[in-house]
Amino acid sequence: MVKLIQVLLIGLLVSFIGSLPLGTLNVAAMQISIASGVQAALLFSMGSLLAEMIYVRLSLVAMDWLRKQTKLLSIFDFLTFLLLVVLAVSNFYMAFAENSQHRNLIFDNALPKVLLGFLMSAINPVQIPFWFGWSTVLFSKGLLEAKPAQYNAYIVGIGMGTLLGNSIFIFGGQLVATTINNNQAVVSVVIGSIFLITAGWQLYKLFRKKDAAHRINQSEVEVNRLGQQLDRWVSDSKKK
């Protein structure tokens, strides 16, 4: 039982920290919170973390298969770029359109927020190399073992950590909405700029062939380097 709690807390901590940098999904959750309220944003986050948990499960039991799906991952990378462009353009249009009642093309549609979050997370393969790297480190250090109970605890912790991290953006979005009052255009410009910069970075990775498949292979190199570094630290500490 203690081991399961440890694995759950590790998954929660890694996921929470990984959710804090600005990204497509947490910024989207913040914008939904501002425009549609906390409940809609939480439903969106629940959908996105469900897709993330499925990816983690695949990374634990079927990484060899997943690594071979280079064409599929490349398509997802390109779809992510297109999505970011649409989000950026939609926000800029909302900011500068004469009709202030203009709605966001992606967030303000009939699609349930849970399903929207799931789909946006599912086509965003950045989490695959991230979790592949971390899971490999945890396996190599004996902190995670190939047991169904530990897998389940690990994935539940990841879901909790992602929700906790996204909640900062969701409730932060409410604080922003209260602070700016009627200056919705300012928020749209800021969020649109974030999406535009992210789209530019995504396009750079596509041109440099640094897609998800490449990052998975790179993560193996980084994991080996990190493992060797940790071993040296442990060895040095024992000598002292």
SS (H, E, C) the chain: CHHHHHHHHHHHHHHHHHHCCCCHHHHHHHHHHHHHCHHHHHHHHHHHHHHHHHHHHHHHHCHHHHHCCHHHHHHHHHHHHHHHHHHHHHHHHHHHCCCCCCCCCCCCCCCCHHHHHHHHHHCCCCHHHHHHHHHHHHHHCCCCCCCHHHHHHHHHHHHHHHHHHHHHHHHHHHHHHHHHCCCHHHHHHHHHHHHHHHHHHHHHHHHCCCCHHHHHHHHHHHHHHHHHHHHHHHHHHHHC
Q: Residue 204: what pLDDT?
A: 82
pLDDT at 185 over 80: no
Question: Is residue 237 domain-resident?
Answer: no
Confidence of residue 205 (pLDDT cuts 50, 70, 90): confident
Question: Is residue 240 domain-resident?
Answer: no
Q: How far is CA 97 from CA 4, 32, 102, 158, in A?
A: 53, 19, 7, 40
pLDDT at 161 over 60: yes
Confidence of residue 9 (pLDDT cuts 50, 70, 90): very high
Rg of the Cα atoms in the chain: 19
Confidence of residue 226 (pLDDT cuts 50, 70, 90): low
Rounded Cα distance, 167 and 129, in Å? 24
Question: Is residue 71 domain-resident?
Answer: yes
Question: Is residue 218 domain-resident?
Answer: yes
Question: Is residue 28 domain-resident?
Answer: yes
pLDDT digits (tens, 9 = 90+) for 69-81: 677 777 778 888 8
Q: Residue 102: what pLDDT?
A: 56
Question: Is residue 122 domain-resident?
Answer: yes
Question: Is residue 212 domain-resident?
Answer: yes
Instruction: Tell me the whole-structure pTM to 2 decimals.
Output: 0.77
Q: Residue 106: what pLDDT?
A: 72
Q: Residue 163: what pLDDT?
A: 93
Our measurement of the distance from residue 92's CA atom to the centroid of its chain's CA atoms, rounded to an integer in Å, reads 23
The mean pLDDT value for 48-58 works out to: 88
pLDDT > 70: what percent of the chain? 77
Confidence of residue 167 (pLDDT cuts 50, 70, 90): very high
pLDDT > 90: what percent of the chain? 18
Whether residue 126 contacts residue 54, with contact meaning beta carbons closer than 8 Å, is answered with: no
Rounded Cα distance, 64 and 183, in Å? 49
pLDDT at 183 over 80: no
212 or 198, which is more confident: 198
Whether residue 135 contacts residue 59, with contact meaning beta carbons closer than 8 Å, is answered with: yes
Domains held by the chain: number: 1
Question: Is residue 238 domain-resident?
Answer: no
The mean pLDDT value for 31-42 works out to: 87
Confidence of residue 101 (pLDDT cuts 50, 70, 90): low
Structural domain of residue 198, as residue ranges? 2-231
